[in-house]
Amino acid sequence: MTFPFNFFLAAFAGAFVTTLLALPLWRAGCLRCGLVDDPGHRKIHRSPVALAGGFAVLTGILLPLVGGAMLLKFGAVHLSSAGAIVHGIDRRALELAVLALGAVAITLLGWLDDKHELKPLPKFLGQLLIAIAVAAACKRITLFVSSEGFSYAITILWLLTVINAFNFMDNMNGLCAGVGAIGAFLFALLAASQGEYLVALTGFLMCGALAGFLPWNFPHARAFLGDAGSHLVGYLLAVMAILPHFYTKQHPRPLAVLAPLLVLAVPLIDLAQVSLYRTLHKKPFWIGDTNHLSHRLVRAGMSPTRAVLLLWLLAALLGALACWL
């Protein structure tokens, strides 16, 4: 069965337009209620910037997803493979519901952090509870180890790691959103190639939503993702790395399980090196500084825009290698 490319294109375009149009509304609301990022010693903006990106991206994903699902469910859209999609939605309804609720929950957790600057422990506990719920309801990582306890532990660890990697990497205009959009597009391609159409659909929706946000954030920011947005991006990419079948008995490719690590290599490497640096210098690893990959490139002589573009390119090249695997 061939899946129509036009369906994926419609998902991308719907998310793009929805986010692009929703962001001014969310931005105005954030400015009215004071949900802004104020200038500071580690920041380059000189006036408060609305933390509206997370809500706009979530809107751009959920509205087209719900609308498209209803059109398919009630037969308003006629596609050769619509029946397969409806069957997939019905079969995985509980899993999809948990993932959607998890996306809303992680966005709200990030919003609380944006609004009240949560201490590390409550913030981590919130992330942990969401990760446990996802691991309990959805497919889990196994790494060829036949142990349910190990599967739960490694899945929860993966979710927490990727969420915080993107939270840490949200330090320059366009960096988190751009790398997130590239990652979502690559996971969508990988999933589509394996017939995982629901995962692919989520990837194209996420890619479109982040692309719709980028004009407001790069190269000059009129809105930021905030912790709400960076948490959402990390959560969705961590989930999309779990759901596809990178290794099956029909396609036994052990190296393919490395694909998610390559797609997300840039944020994972950034998280590892900055955490190691802070640990070696006896600083709490959760306290922000200017030693991320992007900051190091700027100190090496690049402009912030070129540093971000270089990291986008690196993410795309490593992702291409993942697709080859």
- pLDDT per residue rounded down to tens, the chain (325 residues): 455 577 889 999 999 999 999 999 999 999 999 999 887 655 565 678 999 999 999 999 999 988 877 776 666 555 555 555 555 566 666 777 888 999 999 999 999 999 999 999 999 999 999 999 999 988 788 877 888 899 999 999 999 999 999 999 999 999 999 999 999 999 999 888 887 888 888 899 999 999 999 999 999 999 999 999 999 999 999 999 988 655 455 555 666 678 899 999 999 999 999 999 999 999 998 888 999 999 999 999 999 999 999 999 999 999 999 888 7
**Pair of tokens at residue 70:** 């209803």
Radius of gyration of the chain (CA): 19
What CA–CA distance (Å, rounded) separates 130 from 33?
A: 27
CA distances from 31 to 47, 62, 227 (A): 12, 23, 16
Rounded to two decimals, the pTM is: 0.92
- Reading phi first (left if > 0) and then psi (alpha if -120 to 50, else beta), residue 117 is in left
Instruction: Report whether 270 contacts 295 (CB < 8 A).
Output: no
Count of other CB atoms within 10 angstroms of residue 72: 18
Q: Maximum distance among all alpha carbons in the chain?
A: 60
Instruction: Report whether 203 contacts 226 (CB < 8 A).
Output: no
> What H or E segment, with its residue span, contains residue 37?
strand 36-37
Instruction: Report whether 82 contacts 72 (CB < 8 A).
Output: yes
Question: What's at 51, amino acid-wise?
Answer: L
